[in-house]
Structure 1
Amino acid sequence: MKRFPAAAALLAAVLLLAGCSASGSSNDAGSSVSNPGTGAVTGDGTTKDSGVVGAPQAGDAAGSVTSGSAAGSTSEVATGQRDVIMTGSMSITAKDPIKATQDAVTITEQAGGRIDSRTENPATENQQASATLTLRIPSGALDRTVTDLKKLGTVNFVSLNASDITQQTQDLDARITALKTSVDRLLTLMQQATTTTDLIAIEGTLSQRQADLESLQSQRNFLSDQVDFSTITLSLYSTGTVAPGAPGDFWTAIGAGWAALVGALGAALVGIGYALPWIALVGVLALIVILIVRMSRRKGKAA
């Protein structure tokens, strides 16, 4: 009988924890770093510990998140340590875009960056050579690398854009810290569970909380990569020279035009050759239909 009140209290704490978790999860998008105590995880941590003997007080739990995450993030903003994503595009005309592509790869790798995508289009009779690359350049080396890339040829344009995501990363950091605290306390409650019902309830809440934590950590890692490595789309074009094999004078152009005309007529004749059997079949069917109609009309007149 003495164990029943303790088990009931533990179960009530877990149920309160799950209820607060559902409420907090629905408000994740609107959560604020300046008030992490209102988040789902902080509220859960303080509620469920009230049913455990010797657990930290509610004020201690809220204080650990506020001072450890939000306050720390505020100090970072005050000192100018902001999270900024740099993106941009460059267009350069080079004598040999394919060679310039390899030079751009070398410049990027020497700066500590990487190539996320690379497309090369060699010169043909109908198009000039060109290339497109997506460069990931360390943010600290962006200016120097862009300067080096400009030396590949004639710069058509350079466009750089900055996106400040400091508030977003601060919010994620605060929620991740609070979720880690909540997971640790759920593990403690699991060790103290005395009934199967309590254990099942705690495990369900713990699984959901761990999934939320992994999702937030994945988002944070993605943003960190975007901040650490700027994304530049580089387009390389060849100079306005005549493509190899193209007509160079009037008479050559006439010859090329005549050859194109003959080729077009030949293609048309080939198409007609493919269509003739179908045309013949349709003609035979049409003739049969006409004969049937005429015969039916004659029978009608005779009657």
Structure 2
Amino acid sequence: MRRTAAAAALLFAALTLTACTAPSGTVAPTDMEAPVPSAPDFPGEDGGGEAGSDSDLPAQPAPDAADREIITTGTMTVVVEDPERAASYATDIVTDAGGRVDARTERAAVPGSPASATLSLRVPASKLDSVLDDLKSLGEARDVSLSSEDVTLVTRDLDARITALEASVDRLLAMLEGTTDTKTLIEVETALSQRQSELESMQAQRRYYSDQVSLSTIRLSLIAPSESDPTRPDDFWSGLVTGWNALVAFFSAVLVALGVALPWLLLLALIALIVLLIVRSALRRNGRAGARSPVAPEAAAQVPAVQAPAEQAPPAGSEPESRAGD
């Protein structure tokens, strides 16, 4: 009995040890096991996704107020005595501030249109306020308008994509150096060319945003004082002078219009006179020709002679009424 109980205890202990030492499907590999090779970096790296895709980009933190990138554009109109000289002063102001002039247009004064100048200015964003104050001092500032656009999220997204593409290009270059198979070499070169083209395009966009953020764009219009609003009369004498000037201007405009139209009127009158003389001459020739032409004999023979009706003789035995009356 004791032997049977001891044998059963030994058998149970053996089964327990066997179960504890049996391999399990969920046991992690030990350090002695060979590492699993990673997937190749081409083509469609990281599980077939394109390099620089949204799944590869790190999460972007919310931008701080000091780190925001803002594009500022605006327009300004200033009334000056001499637009050409004021344009030179404006150019010096912007150049001294570290900016530049992208475009400059000047128009001379003509009748009905005063002299003017238009400039496209690129001003450093950090000195925009001081430059605007200096431009206002050139004359009488009429209209000043500024607008801002926050492009912080756009530029940060471009930076992340550029970083991912640069890393992808570096990996493809490393693969290109270590590849000996012709087919793989062609595929790597094709993918590398595509990635480099995308990288250059994004870098160009990033440079554009950087330029727009660092230099604000201001369109400056300089106009002569004659384009300002005319002064209105405020008393009797000023009203009288204004009316007299308007009357003189009206008759001056009428004389100018008459002087312009007079040569054309003379030309039209001469043409009408020539046409009238030609018509009258033709009518006279037709009248004379009709008076001189005789009637043809054949036409005269065909015209029946018209005879006057003969008087009827009174019947015999009757006397005239005059005698009967007697």
Give the aligned partner of residue 220 of structure 1.
206
Q: CA RMSD in A?
A: 3.4
Give the aligned partner of residue 87 of structure 2.
101
Structure 1 residue runs without a partner (length 5+): 1-8, 32-37, 43-64, 243-247, 274-303
Kept in 1: contact 2:51–2:165 (CA 8 A): no
- Find the aligned partners of 1:268 and 1:213 in 2 and give their Cα distance: 73
- Find the aligned partners of 1:168 and 1:11 in 2 and give their Cα distance: 32
Tell me, yes or no, if structure 1 residue 14 matches structure 2 residue 28.
Answer: no
Kept in 2: contact 1:11–1:198 (CA 8 A): no
Give the aligned partner of residue 209 of structure 1.
195
**Bigger share in helix:** 1
Residue among 124, 128, 135 paired with 1:142: 128
Tell me, yes or no, if structure 1 residue 86 matches structure 2 residue 83.
Answer: no
* 1:151-190 paired onto structure 2 within 5 Å: 151-190=137-176
Give the aligned partner of residue 235 of structure 1.
221
Count of residues in Structure 1 that have an aligned counterpart in Structure 2: 219
Tell me, yes or no, if structure 1 residue 254 matches structure 2 residue 282.
Answer: no
Kept in 1: contact 2:80–2:224 (CA 8 A): yes
Give the aligned partner of residue 125 of structure 1.
111
Q: 1:89 to 1:256 in 2, by over 3 A?
A: same
SS at match of 1:14: coil
Give the aligned partner of residue 292 of structure 1.
none
Give the aligned partner of residue 49 of structure 1.
none
Residue among 191, 198, 206 paired with 2:184: 198
TM-score in terms of structure 2 length = 0.59
Q: Deviations 1:46-85 (Å, cap 9, x if unpaired)?
A: xxxxxxxxxxxxxxxxxxx63xxx56xx38x236211111
SS at match of 2:259: helix
SS at match of 2:42: helix
Kept in 2: contact 1:10–1:198 (CA 8 A): no
Structure 2 residue runs without a partner (length 5+): 1-36, 229-244, 271-326
Q: Deviations 1:212-265 (Å, cap 9, x if unpaired)?
A: 0000000000000000100001111111379xxxxx775465344323333245
* 1:15, distance to aligned residue in structure 2 (A): 3.7
Q: 1:267 to 1:217 in 2, by over 3 A?
A: farther
TM-score in terms of structure 1 length = 0.63
Identical-residue share of aligned pairs (%): 41
* 1:281-296 paired onto structure 2 within 5 Å: none
Structure with higher Rg: it is 2
The AA in structure 2 aligned to 1:254 is: F
Q: 1:269 to 1:103 in 2, by over 3 A?
A: farther
Kept in 1: contact 2:51–2:168 (CA 8 A): no
